[in-house]
Structure 1
Amino acid sequence: MIPLFGDEHIRRRKEINLGGNRSHSSHEDILLQAKAQRSQRHDQKRRQDSAARIQAWWRGVLQLRSVRQDLRRIFAQDVTSLVGLRCLVLIGTDEKLLGAWSNAIMNEAQDVLFNSEPSWRVLLRRTAYLLLRSIATWPQSEYALAHLNILCLLLSRSPFADEYLQYLLNHNFYRSIGKAVSAIPVEAKTSPSLPPLVELITAPFTKSDIIGRCLEDALVYVLTIPLLPNRLPLHLLTSLSARLPLTSLHLMPTSISDIVDCSYLAPPESKIHLLANLAVLTPPRYAKLTPAAFEVYLQLTAALMNNLPTHALEPPENKREISRNWADEDDSDDDTPKVAIVTSFEPAKLSTPLPELDKRTRTRLQTLPSPQHLNILLTAAQHHTSRLSLISFCFALTTVWPTRRDKVLGTAVAFNGGGLVREIYRLYVRSSPLGRDDESNGLTSSDRADAWPPLLFLVDLYTQALLTMGDDEFFSSGMSNSAPRNPLTVDELTTFSRKLLNIAFALYWREDPNNIQRGGVPGLGYLKWEDVREKLTKCLQAIHVRDSRRPFTPTGHWLVTSQVDMATFVQAAVLEERNLAVPEGARMLSKRQIAYMSPRLGILNNIPFAIPFEVRVSIFRHFVVNDMGSRGVDMHEFRARNRVTVRRSSLAQDGFDKLQDVDLHVPIAITFIDQFGNEEAGIDGGGVFKEFLTSLCKEVFDTDRGLWLANKKNELYPAPHSLATERHSLNWYRFIGRILGKALYEGILIDVAFAGFFLAKWLGKQSFLDDLASLDPDLYNGLLFLKHYTGDPEDLSLNFTAAEEEFGVARTVELIPNGSNIAVSKENRLQYIYLVSHYRLSKQIKRQSEAFFEGLSEMIDPKWLRMFNQQELQILLGGVNAPVDLENLRQHTNYGGLYDDHETTIELFWKVVNSFDHEQRRGLLRFATSCSRPPLLGFEALVPNFAIRDAGADENRLPTASTCVNLLKLPRYQNETVLREKLLQAINSNAGFDLS
């Protein structure tokens, strides 16, 4: 049967299920089926469209091939005609056709290059561009020389050279030239392409209206070529150097920062090669540069260096070593002094390593920080009014070449008798907003970027100058010929140091610690704020040391009490110290780590002089109390955990034998054995141990024992002879360090004075020439004579050795390898002076000092001591070397027995003591407390307080004392004259400890 409407209608009819089973298709199934059908239709259409496009493209390719074949045929019929040129341009890049055209033009039709018709000029512009692209890709092809010659003709002899040059400049002219030169091997100096390439580089420089743009492009694309001077024969290099318009550097249209940040100079290697090439081409022309061009040159080179990682320009062997220099010294026993510098709180994260520089490039770069180059540069800079660019350049040298830093700074300091230091301070730093008392916030703001280079460079310069500047120079007025003048006057130093203090304090205290730790200084590349803080701290410490030895600043100059509430500061510092406490055996924190984690402890460890001495002593005592608490010791209740018996006749040896391995942090009970072998009566409540400690110190510091020597001021330091370095002697030094630490820990004053240079070692400070005065004044004066000697030092017949005598035997020690054969000259005498000082101050007593410090550090955390300088540390040990304040003493005196403040004998006592002179008062204090100096925080800090107890009515008896408890036992004298006579007799006869 034939369907009524045909098969198609039958296919579209809806099927109707008349059965009993109903469809289970859901609504979602229907939607998914519709979506799948729609996707199939879309894919089919996309395939059809793609096929149509491919067919159209292929038809186009076939048509293009046909057209190109026609164009080539027409071109071949008349190569040098306008039609031929038009065909060449339409075809585009085809090296064979370009070569055929170039050869034909150079051989038979050069005149077409000078055709003035517009059609010719338009086509020649485009053809020049094609030639430029060709030589950039194939600079040594068989057609390259013809291409180059045509370009030279178009840009130098054509009347429309400006038009062609402008077009090529807009189409990466110098970039293409640079690629062409780079593609020629370094060894191929005889390449015929090089002369016309150099001609093309320099030809645009004759166009005065675009010379700045051309020079800028040449710097970026040509002078960044690695080993450019080695690629050119000498005559071409001379031609390039002579025609390079460096006097027009200031005409470059782009700012220096934009040039340095451009994509082509983004890789550090490009910056390095530009620096190396400028180092060859520019210094010989310093004198001819205009002030504006000279300033731009300095700005450019400084910006390039500031954008390089530290050590980027160092030889590979130096990159793997920490900076070493004879002026950066620790107490090492090595022949070559060195110092390890912590550069970051966290381990350094190295960026992508730079490719290894060619030795020839490194050699050229080394000329930049050389003294010879710097002297030429500084001389040329004298003719220019601005110093900011020179400052930025020199400062950049010190940051990118750390191992050359001292030579750069030394050359700058010495130039013109320190004139550069004075100029920088007076022209830029004195008026700088940085460090003003009324402007201590926002130091890290980018608005202050221009003020940092002069300040930081001056800080580096003056810190370097202080390394070899004796006190005679420091305080010199310049009126005497015996010592050079300090570049800064005392008044200028006062202002300068206050600026530095304000900045350093703000960087430790106020600014964001995360920014200080990780942020970079605006405009100074890789330099971090924590590096700035370290520079300022180092300079501040050096100036403060001079002020401590011979004060020149006004009272309160170093304090920041107006900016900080001291009570809160003490509480917070103690809390920070408690939080930083680490278990025994954990690693020690560096000063930089402490500054990052705790601003107050950072101040106390780096610029402690900003906080009043009394406040720091109070903090020190709080630290000790905290430590006692952590060990379960109650400072207000004496409970001995160890009991030690010592013989009075062998006090030092018994103390050494029995206390060597005992924990001295906890209370120790001492029992004395008298001369008859009997135990002395009495219970040690802490006072007997004090007597033991003071008596022990008198014995062990006796110079006759051979462990200590005394200078002319009777100040002690470790003996330098070989016997002092034996194991037994070193154990004694360690024991003495522990005992002295115990005295500091307990707050017991010890009547002993140490040489200033040795106290400096306690604080981890280096010893320099002026510290030698506290050891050997004669040697110190001799070295000063050598330092200022105006004749030839070689006439003095000195070499790099030191002579020493030990037990009557003389020997010679070489200060450096082969030192006996190296004469001291004008150039190396500062090194000699330093090495001699270092040997006497450090090397000779290195092992003795280390043993002593090991024992001291067991008792006292080294960072606690870093809160003080040498003079303050001596006060902490033995009390303040000042007149005895009798009023303060009387206010804090306790009375026992029949005495009170108004008893007759007591009234007479204070009347007599008031009549004593300074030495008699100190003698009374020594008699009663074992120490002649008053406590540094006043007699209220004396533990226990000074006390007077009656000793009966017998006026014939002399007063006695129990120094262990600071007790004076005074008979009830009723006559002023008798009391005075008996008291002085007791003091002068040094009556001993009385148990009654």
Structure 2
Amino acid sequence: MNFSHLWKGLGENLETINEKPDLLPIATVLLPLIESFMVVSKPYVMVQHKHENASVNLNLNETPSVGQKTVSELLQQQHQRALASSRATSPPLGATTASGSQHPHQPALSLNEELFFVFTEEHRKILNTMVRHNPSLMSGSFSLLILNPKVLEFDCKRTYFTQQLHRRSRMHQPHPTLQVNVRRQYVFEESFHQLHGRRGKDIAFAKLNVRFTDEEGVDAGGVTREWFSVLARQMFNPDYALFKPSAVDKITYQPNRASWVNPDHLSYFKFVGRIIGKAIHDGRLMDCYFTRSFYKQLIDVPVDYKDMEAFDPDLHKSLVWMLNNDITDIIDETFSIETEDFGEKKTIELKPGGAELPVTEENKREYVDLLVKQKLTTAIKQQIDAFMSGFNEVIPKELIRIFNEQELELLISGLPDIDIDDWKNNTEYVNYTSSSTQIQWFWRAIRSFSQEEKAKVIQFATGTSKVPLEGFAQLQGSSGVQKFNIHKDFSSTLRLPSAHTCFNQVDLPEYNSYEQLRSQLLTAISECGTGFGLA
């Protein structure tokens, strides 16, 4: 059976709808045809996926090259092949044998696969819109889009990702609650020792219940969020020697190749991997940011010389110059590098015999590639492997690879900017209204704060300085989605604002002036930003 005319008509209709947004509701009428396209494409695309997955370490973010062909050109090519096939012994494109099984190894396979990638990329906008309106599509035929993840936008990938995680959770028997009792100043070490002997399945599927020693807070969700927040800070403590800050911004981190000075470093890296995986699994955001090269290695994307900038800006400049200029009689290097750790110097060959092999104009690209790989990957391979062994106990490696490195950062740490309008539009009030004088002063104060102060207000109220990836509308509380809310505190105006992090709630006294409200709020977030008390 030849479907070329059907797909051509479908593509023309989708293009018309895309050009006229008011016609978008009509797209639902075409949904059965789109799903049919996915069903027909699946055998061909899956065969190629399995072939690649068996022969190489597949990176889903690297889709096959489809050149500059359009859907129309591919459909014309498909139609011509179908006509030719009707006079040949081999079945036409999209046809089946007498037994009903398809022929994935016929030359038509590559054309079908190419058609899938080109078609989905041409209509990516409307496909993403349909997924947003009906997320359940990603549990059905639309899941094939994961094999062309460049088509899917981040929120749609996350929808699929979350669906798959929840599906895994439902397949396992309920696990007993994981109780964690720690002293605030020793959260990292004590959490490590309490969870070290636990199975990966326990970490992944059990509900956490955290208690800070000598603090009265009952964990309805907010204490666990605070625990993740404290862990995110303490894991970068230089005393553990696990991570070192980027040479560029000092706020992103990468594994420290000299972490071996800590005899437990690999066990700690596995623990950190578990914790970050658990945070992702449970929908918690962590205020931890890593270098781009580290994110890449978590999803098996090769590093390149551009990633060197965050690690060593001067070396990066040298490599760029080397690649862009003729180095004949200028560069006097071999395929080896010198390292020094605590006064001990060592020569490392980038390839066998590298210390005797000079770098030339002809082999400079290979030299750059090997040098970058050595510094950003090989030198910290043990640390990365340990981290990933813990991370993949919670998050399957094939699932995390649907994201690129930028999206992975968003998945772990949330939106980097605070949208005050979104925050305000998703706030509820008790015994106040949006037009109350104190509420007007509150938002005036928020807009006057620095980014750090705004983040501290959110941390004060919710237990974390980050907001969900979907924005404030999806702020989580003890029983699911819980919007930010402000309650009137009827006690003295001499009291500071107070918070209930499990419910994303701020109790705001009825202050007499803007200046007093602003001052009291700043004092509260500065002096009461951590610690829990009973309401």
| TM superposition score category, shorter chain reference | 0.7 to 0.9
Give yes or no for the alignment of 1:718 onto 2:282. no
Q: Which letter does structure 2 place at the counterpart of 1:954? A: S
Change (3 A) 1:657 1:789: same
Determine the C-alpha separation between the residues in 1 that align with 2:315 and 2:53.
43
Shift of 1:705: 2.1
Distance 2:339 2:224 in 1: 41
Q: Do the aligned partners of 1:644 and 1:658 also contact (CA within 8 Å) in 2?
A: yes
- Name the SS for the 2:125 alignment partner: coil
The C-alpha deviation readout for 1:574-616, integer Å capped at 9, x for no partner, is 25xxxxxxxxxxxxxxxxxxxxxxx644432x43231222222
Give secondary structure in 2 for the equivalent of 1:790: coil
Query: Alignment length, in residue pairs?
Result: 455
Separation (CA, whole Å) in 2 of partners of 1:672 and 1:762: 31
- Max Rg structure: 1
Is 1:626–2:148 an aligned residue pair? Answer: no
Q: Does 2:530 align with 1:943?
A: no
Separation (CA, whole Å) in 2 of partners of 1:813 and 1:916: 51
Matches within 5 A, 1:535-684: 560-563=124-127, 565-566=130-131, 570-575=135-140, 600-604=142-146, 606-631=147-172, 641-662=177-198, 663-664=202-203, 665-674=205-214, 680-684=215-219
Counterpart of 2:307 in structure 1 is 771
The verdict on how the C-alpha distance between 1:607 and 1:930 changes in structure 2, with shifts beyond 3 A counting, is farther
Cα deviation code 1:1-23 (max 9, x no counterpart): xxxxxxxxxxxxxxxxxxxxxxx
Change (3 A) 1:441 1:960: farther
2:31 aligns to what?
none
CA distance, structure 1, for counterparts of residue 527 and residue 398 of structure 2: 41
1:450-484, Cα deviation, whole Å (9 max, x unpaired) = xxxxxxxxxxxxxxxxxxxxxxxxxxxxxxxxxxx
Q: Secondary structure in 2 aligned to 1:796? A: coil
**Cα–Cα, structure 1 residues 930 and 685, in superposed 2: closer, same or farther, change >3 Å?**
closer
Match of 1:843 among 357, 367, 378: 378
Deviations 1:932-982 (A, max 9, x none): 443221212111232334455333333344545533343332311111122
Cα distance change on mapping 1:559 and 1:926 into 2, 3 Å:
farther
- Indicate the residue corresponding to 2:38 in structure 1: none
- Cα deviation for residue 648 of structure 1 reads 2.2
TM-score by length of 1: 0.42
Q: Which residue type is aligned with residue 955 of structure 1?
A: T
Q: Is the 8 A contact 2:216 2:532 kept in 1?
A: no
Contact 1:960–1:991 at 8 Å: present in 2 too?
no
Q: Give the fraction of aligned pairs with identical amino acids, expressed as a percent.
A: 25
Q: Give the partner amino acid of 1:561.
A: K
User: Offset at 1:342?
Assistant: 8.3
Residues 918 and 697 (structure 1 numbering): CA distance in 2 closer, same or farther, change over 3 Å? closer
Q: Whole-Å Cα distance in 1 between the matches of residues 274 and 295 of structure 2? A: 16
Q: 1:630 to 1:724 in 2, by over 3 A?
A: farther
Residue 227 of structure 2 aligns to which amino acid in structure 1? F
**Superposition pairs for residues 106-505 of structure 1, below 5 Å?**
344=51, 434-436=69-71, 441=75, 444=78, 447=81
State the distance in 2 between where 1:558 and 1:974 align: 58
Q: 1:975 — aligned with what?
A: 513
Q: Is the 8 A contact 2:74 2:111 kept in 1?
A: no
User: Counterpart in 2 of 1:735?
Assistant: 271
Does the CA-based 8 Å contact 1:961-1:994 persist in structure 2? Answer: no
For residues 7-156 of structure 1, the aligned pairs below 5 Å read none
Are the structure 2 counterparts of residues 875 and 511 from structure 1 closer, same or farther at C-alpha, using a change threshold of 3 Å?
A: farther
2:530 aligned with 1:992: yes
Query: Do the aligned partners of 2:225 and 2:463 also contact (CA within 8 Å) in 1?
Result: no
Higher helix content, 1 or 2: 1
The verdict on how the C-alpha distance between 1:632 and 1:890 changes in structure 2, with shifts beyond 3 A counting, is: farther
Structure 1's 890 and 630: CA in aligned 2 closer, same or farther, altered over 3 A? farther
User: 2:390 aligned with 1:855, yes or no?
Assistant: yes
Q: Which residue of 1 aligns with 2:426?
A: 892
Contact 1:569–1:600, Cα closer than 8 Å, also in 2: no
How high is the TM-score relative to the length of structure 2? 0.74
| Residue among 908, 918, 929 paired with 2:462 | 929
Contact 1:345 1:517 in 2 (8 A): no
Note the 1:730-809 alignment, pairs <5 A: 730-792=266-328, 794-809=329-344
Counterpart Cα distance in 2 of 1:630 and 1:771:
39
Deviation at 1:773, TM superposition (A): 2.0
Using the alignment, how far apart are the partners of 1:346 and 1:762 within structure 2?
17
In 2, the alpha carbon distance for the partners of 1:978 and 1:511 equals: 76
Shift of 1:520: 1.8
Report the equivalent of 1:403: none
Preserved contact between residue 643 and residue 668 of structure 1 (Cα < 8 Å)? yes
* Residue pair 2:222, 2:463 contacting (<8 A) in 1 also: no
Cα deviation for residue 563 of structure 1 reads 4.9
State the Cα deviation string for residues 102-159 of structure 1 (Å, max 9, x = none): xxxxxxxxxxxxxxxxxxxxxxxxxxxxxxxxxxxxxxxxxxxxxxxxxxxxxxxxxx
Distance 1:963 1:820, change over 3 A: farther
List gaps (5 residues or longer) in structure 1: 1-340, 349-424, 450-506, 522-527, 538-555, 576-598, 634-638, 675-679
The residue type paired with residue 763 of structure 1 is I
